[in-house]
Amino acid sequence: MKNILLVTTDQALFARLHSGLTNLGFCITALADPTAVVNAAAADNPDLVMMDFILDELNGGALCHQLKTDLATQHIPVFLLSEFPGLEKLAAKFGSDGVIDKTLPYPELMENILSAIHRENSIYA
């Protein structure tokens, strides 16, 4: 079973993703405190981290950069969830492995997430 660390302060998005991914057999860990993402990822060693680009007053890109520059977590694929078009270039500067448009209709959103997971599985398997 693949473990996904989901970092979002958007409760509606969390509910949609948690339900959909759990039903597909993934183990989802939610992080209540986004500032603890590096410690949580180092302790739990998830197969994938998905986090909002905007986390209330935090920057998910900066947290992604912290994950990607920490020796304990740099191997973990990180996908940023965003509603901003064209974020891919900026996200790459943070070390993100990709961006998923969270405004997509639910079926497309899940398809993009599963595509990202499968793409990472072929690299990290």
Is residue 61 domain-resident? yes
> Is 37 within 8 Å of 49 (Cβ atoms)?
yes
**71-76 mean pLDDT:** 94
Is residue 2 domain-resident? no
> Is 60 within 8 Å of 53 (Cβ atoms)?
yes
Residue-level pLDDT at 6: 94
Average pLDDT across the chain, whole number: 87
One-letter amino acid for residue 111 of the chain: E
Closest-CA residue to 31 (of 61, 13, 54, 9): 9
Is residue 107 domain-resident? yes
What digits encode the pLDDT tens for the residues 20-67? 999 888 999 988 788 899 999 999 999 999 999 988 878 899 999 999
The domain that holds 70 is classified in CATH as: 3.40.50.2300
**79-95 mean pLDDT:** 84
Is residue 5 domain-resident? no
- Domain extent, residue 50, equals 27-124
Is residue 105 domain-resident? yes
Structural domain count, the chain: 1
Asked if residue 123 has pLDDT above 50, the reply is no
Is residue 54 domain-resident? yes
Is residue 3 domain-resident? no
In this prediction the pTM is 0.87
Closest-CA residue to 70 (of 98, 45, 88, 92): 45
Closest-CA residue to 113 (of 37, 23, 36, 38): 23
